[in-house]
Amino acid sequence: MDNKSKSVWAGWLDITAGIIWLLGDAFLFLIIIGLSVGFGAPHIFNLLLILTIPAFSGILAILGGMFSLKRTNWVLAIIGSICAVPLGLGIIATVLIVQSRNMFN
């Protein structure tokens, strides 16, 4: 596998992981809202504040994947793949981005 295709594969893995992060975050948001309406949870703001961390990670993973596909900014591409590590796809993406570092501008 050449270095160009490694960065493309890493980009798609990062984007996929970011989308999974955001979909899971949206699902948890709906569950929290539903439970707070049904049971009147007093600490809903704290729970929603906790959901910003995976949402931020998902956005960074998607941005890192876009930079990896364009091969423009290696640092942001590696940050995005590190944000995707908890899902498992980021481990593979990080290795591929490190191996294709010389292809980035």
Model-level pTM?
0.87
pLDDT tens readout for residues 35-82: 777 777 667 777 778 888 889 999 999 999 999 999 999 999 999 999
Encoded tokens for 16: 């996929």
CB 81 within 8 A of CB 63: no
CB 14 within 8 A of CB 65: yes
pLDDT tens readout for residues 2-31: 767 899 999 999 999 999 999 999 998 888
